[in-house]
Amino acid sequence: MIRPSESERHIGEDTQAWRLRLYVAGQTPKSLTAIANLRRICEKNLHGRYIIEIVDLVERPQLAAGDQIVALPTLVRKLPPPLKKIIGDLSNQEKVLVGLDLL
């Protein structure tokens, strides 16, 4: 299910992209829930305008410090600025939308 760091492009060529990175650690239930929730929320709210990158820190632990990852899962909005972070399995959709400034 998780293909580490592989970008999932859901975007047209000339559109302003939303670049989202989700940090997880292994295929835990929390990780899988977070990934599913993220895909659902993006499809519904950012259709055709987003790129999701999933980083599995079990595979690439050296990436944790760079984005100041403490809790997992952590969703980082890389673009558009400013950088935003949402922690948790993203099961509270409203909080995710608030965190991403989509509400």
Q: Is the CB of 11 or the CB of 76 nearer to another protein?
A: 76
The C-alpha atoms of residue 100 and residue 33 are separated, in whole angstroms, by 18
| Least spacing, CB of residue 6 vs another protein, in Å | 19
| Least spacing, CB of residue 14 vs another protein, in Å | 30
Q: Is the CB of 49 or the CB of 85 nearer to another protein?
A: 85
Residues near 100 by Cβ (< 8 Å), separated by ≥ 6? 77, 84, 86
DSSP-derived 3-state class of residue 85: strand
Q: Which amino acid is at 63?
A: L
8 A C-beta contact, residue 5 and residue 54: yes
Q: Footprint of another protein on this chain (CB under 8 A)?
A: 23, 25, 30, 33-34, 37, 57-58, 61-62, 64-65, 68-74, 83-93, 95-96, 98-99
| Least spacing, CB of residue 96 vs another protein, in Å | 5
